[in-house]
Chains A and B, each alone.
Chain A
């Protein structure tokens, strides 16, 4: 079973990348996806540095904690964006993805980030059965993003983690206010978010700069900081140079 390189929606916007990157991605996509025999699932090029393997390892669990902001409706500031970005390359390469427990997915944003919506099943309100729903999806889907609607009991979380490992899926948890009692394989936390493009009544939201810090286990325990535009001016993800002077040159200009 081969995957068509045109499987991603080809309107250019989110997936227009530099030649080298698109070649790498094309190579990734035209490779046979014999599901569980491939140990790694691809990530977007700007996210490669967050993971020790440069991709998502099957069987692993990733927790994404956003910035807890006062008055935020879901308490996952930035976390949803990061989770969607993790789905982008894998869904484009033909992996099935599921999103559980987010009642109002912004589908346009997901598409702009690069998620192939035809490969994404959404369970907006799993209700009390959320853990069972997640477990069932882990059985058949490569990537499951879980926003637990209630605080999970430790035993429940452990079961989901074990099932993910056994089924060689990837579980991405965006705990929000519910929390997640298990220690993940990779922990991504969002900080220093700053929006560009708006002032006092003028402009439009344009792009957001954020820092994502990855902490892993064992050899990957040392935190790795990454500066990203998420969303970038095209709604996708791009590297943001750490240096402020450099940022002034290459960063997107406010539209004013």
Chain B
């Protein structure tokens, strides 16, 4: 794979209104071209050049990187890095490293999968316990293809340092700094390029993008999320939240597929992030449980959520057995039930004789 030298100008990543940043970047490109004529502009503020030729002339990649950094730093703040392939070289530039030939897979391994800029893929991988690029790269490619498709394979090759580039340069994650606190005006960038309505971006969209980026700067990028629907049985599986990023918008095809065992509409308004422990008792105050044949041992009469006061159960439906992940050792066997207490209703889950409030129809 190509040895690439990436020049990042952190102050020029965001386009400003009068184009001064862009003009300055053109000057940067001119300077870099004096080292090698094959300069490629990756996106505003970032350009790359093949390192092999000029590094022979300048006595190695380290001296070349230093020399380029010195020349450009007269114009603007700059970060320079060298690695195999554009993706790794861009990351190397952010930390000002020269990754030795062959060292790219090892360099990439500790980065979180989110750095690939595919929030959905990253979310899924994290749920599967695969948190770093190294873990991801260790999966066999045929499995990745089967599970994640062609896009997944592209990411997988990049994660393993076997391919240099994700197919979509200019993705926000490519411009996002690892250190999230120092992101500047990310909202503008996230909103620019969004398809929006009929291909346009309105003032309202830009304002909203700015406000959300400001909140992300305040409490961290992961603090602002947006909901996506997907197929699934329980309420927690039917939606997932991905970090706010005003670009992608699509509907999961699994939505259309029928999901056996799904509880009919209406859906609960609150799906508790972690099920809340609860107690269910019959009229005599004895705990209610579900027998091996999926029947209640007694009619439920009172419900206490998180050791709170008892509320009278006025009506209930179920239980319905739910066996999830029956193929895996971590399978869960339990039952779900709806219980009405006054005007509020809860979706209860019972597993191994313990009750939980999974969701609330608030």
Interface membership of A157, Cβ < 8 A: no
Q: How many residues of A contact B (CB 8 A)?
A: 82
- B225 near A1 with CB under 8 A, answer no
Question: Which residues 132-177 of A have a CB within 8 angstroms of B?
Answer: 132-133, 136-137, 139-142
A203 at the interface (CB under 8 A from B): yes
**What A residues does B357 contact at CB under 8 A?**
73
**Cα(A162)–Cα(B244), bound, Å:** 27
Smallest Cβ-Cβ distance to A84: which chain B residue: B269
Tell me whether B344 and A77 are in contact (CB under 8 A).
yes
Q: List the B side residues contacting A107 at CB < 8 Å.
A: 227-229, 238-239, 241, 271
Q: Tell me whether B338 and A104 are in contact (CB under 8 A).
A: no
Note all chain B residues with C-beta closer than 8 A to A78: 343-344, 362
Bound complex: CA A7 to CA B228 (Å): 15
Q: Which B residue's beta carbon lies closest to that of A35? A: B204
Cα–Cα distance between A107 and B223 once the two chains are bound (Å): 17
Which of A20-28, A45-53, A121-129, A215-223 forms contacts with chain B? A121-129
Q: Is the CB of A70 within 8 A of B265?
A: no
Say whether B328 faces chain A, with CB atoms less than 8 Å apart: no
Which residues of B are found within 8 Å of A193, using beta-carbon distances? Answer: 342-344
Task: Select which of B219, B224, B238, B362 is within 8 A of A80 by beta carbon.
Answer: B362
Residues of A contacting B310 in the complex (Cβ-Cβ under 8 angstroms): 70-71
> Which residues of chain B are within 8 angstroms of A70 by Cβ–Cβ distance?
308-311, 341-342
Distance, CA A110 to CA B86, complexed state (A) = 41
Q: Is B340 an interface residue (CB 8 A)?
A: yes
User: Could you tell me the distance between the alpha carbons of A198 and B223 in the complex, rounded to whole angstroms?
Assistant: 37
B262 to chain A, nearest CB (A): 10
Interface code B318-362, partner A: CB below 8 Å = 1, 0 otherwise? 100000000000000000001011111100000000000101111
- A78 CB to nearest chain B CB (Å): 6
- Interchain CB contact (< 8 A) of A73 among B200, B210, B211, B272: B272
User: Would A71 and B214 be within 8 Å (CB), given that A35-B204, A112-B267 are in contact?
Assistant: no
Is there contact, CB below 8 Å, between A76 and B362?
yes
A110-B227, A111-B229 given; A140·B211 CB < 8 A: yes
Contacting pair A80 B270 (CB below 8 A): yes
* Residues on the B chain within 8 Å of A243, using CB: none
> Would you give the 0/1 interface string for B189-231, flagging 1 where the beta carbon is closer than 8 Å to chain A?
0000000011010111101111110110011000111111100
Report the minimal beta-carbon distance from A104 to chain B, rounded to whole angstroms.
5
The yes or no answer to B111 lying at the interface (CB within 8 A) is no
Tell whether B315 is near chain A: CB-to-CB under 8 Å: yes
Stretch at the interface among B41-49, B114-122, B297-305: B297-305
Asked if B205 contacts A66 (CB within 8 A), the reply is no
Q: How far is the CB of A93 from chain B (nearest CB, A)?
A: 11
CB atoms of B239 and A79 under 8 A apart: no
Given A198-B315, A198-B340, A199-B315, is A121 in contact with B224 using a C-beta cutoff of 8 Å? yes
Min C-beta distance of A180 to chain B, whole Å:
17
B276 an interface residue at 8 Å Cβ cutoff? yes
Cβ proximity bits B121-137 to A, threshold 8 Å, 1 near / 0 not: 00000000000000000
Query: Could you list 5 A-B pairs, sorted by A, with CB under 8 Å?
Result: A72-B344, A104-B273, A108-B238, A140-B207, A198-B340
The 10 closest A-B pairs by CB, nearest first: A193-B343, A140-B211, A107-B239, A107-B227, A108-B267, A231-B266, A96-B208, A1-B202, A71-B311, A109-B267
